[in-house]
Structure 1
């Protein structure tokens, strides 16, 4: 049987990341740009947090493969960790506590466990073999998605509408017009809130595996559905739609894909 990480190890990894991110949050940390001609920020907090997580994974699971946003891929095999040390770096450098550390675990490319940690607020959303849970100021509770089935009752999130260029803008506008409320800018936090029963739909495009792998198990184990826009598995990223219920997922895809 494959040894899968338990919650305590996921927490230990997030503690290691938080030891690097929190001291640098709202301190005017230096920002580098990864893309010439655009703005894709990275900070020493991103790099230091990823190094800390990698060190602890390698100490416990030296044979596991790792994919991180800042340091790329290392190792091969059926078991792989996928890390985004700060998902939402733009929020991080703006002092907005909507960023999170994402750590996911896959077996044969299928997401099996994952955690999203927001250490400044003190919230963790995670899923392991036992289910999906949230830790926060109110204590620990199991996560269950809302039973929203109709678009006109749904809350929709996307990071930024300007990312939906070309015909995607019209398709997103159609979906946004069909729902009760559309909000922007929460990055990974929106997906975690979907699993926790606060949000009904999340639509994103241009995702990388490290943006989404950690979030897949918690949404699925909480009762939601998350796929690419063509209905496939979402572990490789790309264009992704998450919904609180299968019925809502089907209706949102139908509107979004025309």
Structure 2
């Protein structure tokens, strides 16, 4: 199966859950928690992942799937990374900034991905041939320096505060002072998609999983932006538009947290 067919499967799977997510949005669904009260989950996360898995398994049987809710299943050269709702807290309370994120890797190399915003009906897609939003090619272009740039930030998280204490707040303060604008929208995948489209200039967060960032990382890179790190390993994420001066940015200082 070639990349175009893999992307078609990913977009079909993502769009298959769009109607149910739009219908449930702003219904204030019942929320339970996973790790702690900062980590919500709803019945819609679970049902959406099941529906996505059903599409993938029907179209590409025998591949591995790594999902946020169900975990890892299957094996083979193809691995799908699925986040049925990235931004669950936003979805659960009625804030329209969440998405479906699906990426596929062949023998450990990302080859296709989709980040689908079901509220705005924005479909960000990428293969090794390029990146698109609603079928139109996108280029990751924008600010060159902090003072002109918008940063989408997920740092510090409650875990960052627990492990770093006041140092995390000082680092966050440095970001607020340095960047023109700092926002905390609440979806790593959508943050990355917006950087890929040049709608924001940089994004940074900690403790991400592959299902959070794999599709977004491919989008950024294929749109001409920069993604720092391994999107298929758990860890921090940092991305920016092409031409941004990371070496001269406070981000370069803040993201090396172990030096603090």
TM-score, length basis structure 1: 0.88
For structure 2, the residue ranges without an aligned partner over 5 or more in a row are: none
Change (3 A) 1:129 1:38: same
| Alignment deviations for residues 95-130 of structure 1 (CA, whole Å, 9 cap, x no partner) | 111010000111222222111111122111111243
> What's 2:121 paired with?
122
CA, structure 1 residues 158+90, in 2 after alignment: closer, same or farther (shift >3 Å)?
Answer: same
Runs of 4+ that moved beyond 6 A: none
Shift of the 174–132 alpha-carbon distance from structure 1 to 2, 3 Å rule, reads same
| Compared CA separation, residues 180 and 34, structure 1 to 2 (3 A) | same
Question: 1:112 matched to which residue of 2?
Answer: 111
**Equivalent residues in 2 for 1:2-17, closer than 5 Å:** 3-4=2-3, 5-17=5-17
Question: Secondary structure in 1 aligned to 2:247?
Answer: helix
Q: What does the per-residue CA deviation read over 1:123-177, in whole Å, with 9 as the maximum and x for residues that have no partner?
A: 1111124310112xxxx42111114322222111113544442233333332332
RMSD: 2.0
Distance (Å, rounded) in 2 between the aligned partners of 1:241 and 1:235:
14
CA separation in 1, counterparts of 2:44 and 2:83? 12
Rounded Cα–Cα distance in structure 2 between residues aligned with 1:175 and 1:28: 33
Pairing 1:234–2:195 present: no
Structure 2 match to 1:46: 45
Matched, 1:154 2:149: yes
Assess if the C-alpha contact under 8 Å between 2:155 and 2:172 holds in 1: no
* 1:243 lines up with 2:244 in the alignment: no
The count of aligned residue pairs is 248
Given that 1:242 and 1:249 are in contact with CA atoms closer than 8 Å, whether structure 2 keeps it comes out as: no
1:50–1:83 CA contact under 8 A, matched in 2: yes
- Tell me, yes or no, if the aligned pair for 1:20 and 1:48 is still in contact at 8 Å: no
Question: 2 CA distance for matches of 1:52 and 1:254?
Answer: 40
Offset, 1:249: 3.3
Q: How far is the alpha carbon of 1:9 from its aligned partner?
A: 2.5
Please state whether the residue corresponding to 2:27 is helix, strand or coil. coil
Conservation of the 8 A alpha-carbon contact between 1:6 and 1:129: no
Task: Specify the SS of the correspondent of 2:203.
Answer: strand
Cα deviation, 1:19-49, whole Å, max 9, x if unaligned, reads 33222111232211123x5331111111111
Query: 2: CA distance between counterparts of 1:222 and 1:122?
Result: 20
Structure 1 residue runs of 5 or longer lacking an equivalent are: none
Query: What pairs up with 1:69-88 in 2 under 5 angstroms?
Result: 69-88=68-87
Query: Where does residue 89 of structure 1 map in the other structure?
Result: 88
Contact 2:9 2:55 in 1 (8 A): no
Q: Is the 8 A contact 2:115 2:216 kept in 1?
A: yes
Structure 1 equivalent of residue 21 of structure 2: 21
Give the Å deviation of 1:90. Answer: 0.3
CA distance in 2 between partners of 1:197 and 1:206 (Å): 24
